[in-house]
Chains A and B, each alone.
Chain A
Amino acid sequence: NAGVTQTPKFQVLKTGQSMTLQCAQDMNHNSMYWYRQDPGMGLRLIYYSASEGTTDKGEVPNGYNVSRLNKREFSLRLESAAPSQTSVYFCASMIRDGSYNEQFFGPGTRLTVL
């Protein structure tokens, strides 16, 4: 099992450009999450998908959109990138059965917006 995979690993954009960050998991998990990590601020939830076919906003959704393409894949789109979106982005997944469950994280995408 590859676990949670993310592409690309690194990306540099110019202000106003768009891009999609890809995430896939092969653990048959039903919930998936997108976080951003900024120095001194820990990880903050951008969007999540509790199950296939549903998506909801997290703490910092402005400037982002998501698509839960199927049970395996959950993409994050920046329609018009801004320097404030320079960050490291992590995707995570979890099987949710009503009790405590561990989230599994991908290796991250380091995004720089110039």
Chain B
Amino acid sequence: GNSVTQMEGPVTLSEEAFLTINCTYTATGYPSLFWYVQYPGEGLQLLLKATKADDKGSNKGFEATYRKETTSFHLEKGSVQVSDSAVYFCALSDVGGTSYGKLTFGQGTILTVHP
């Protein structure tokens, strides 16, 4: 079956530091890959996505590249802000067939950014 593994957390950084959150996956076929973010007390919202190998998703200064050879989709940001403090989830979805868009999530990484 499909699985997603994220780096252990929590992660604590100072403002303007560089962020990397590692994500690796196991899947059959060619899944779509996602990063979702959950701010305190809220539901999840899509941060970025990539649908095929070598695609780079980007949004709000965050980036992630779909690496099929290493089955990875690491999240990066060059300079984090206090407002980036949240829980970040890596996820994958099989496309088409009988997958019905079901998402498989990693365990989540708590990011705290201090001023």
Give A contacts to B, CB under 8 Å.
4, 31, 33, 35, 40-45, 48, 50, 56, 58, 90, 92, 94, 96, 98-103, 105-108
Contact = CB atoms under 8 A, between A and B. Distances in A.
Interface of B: 4, 32, 36, 41-46, 49, 51, 89, 93, 95-96, 100-103, 105-108
A16 B106 CA distance: 31
Contacts of A42: 4, 89, 105-108
B101 A31 contact: yes
14 contacts: A31-B100, A33-B102, A41-B107, A42-B4, A42-B106, A43-B89, A45-B103, A48-B100, A90-B43, A99-B51, A100-B51, A100-B93, A100-B95, A105-B44
Contacts, number: 59
Contact of A108 (B43, B51, B95, B101): B43
A108 B40 CA distance: 12
A3 to B, nearest CB: 9
Contacts of B102: 33, 45, 48, 58
Contacts of B108: 40, 42
A43 B105 contact: yes
Contact of B103 (A43, A56, A108): A43
A100 B89 contact: no
B42 A103 contact: no
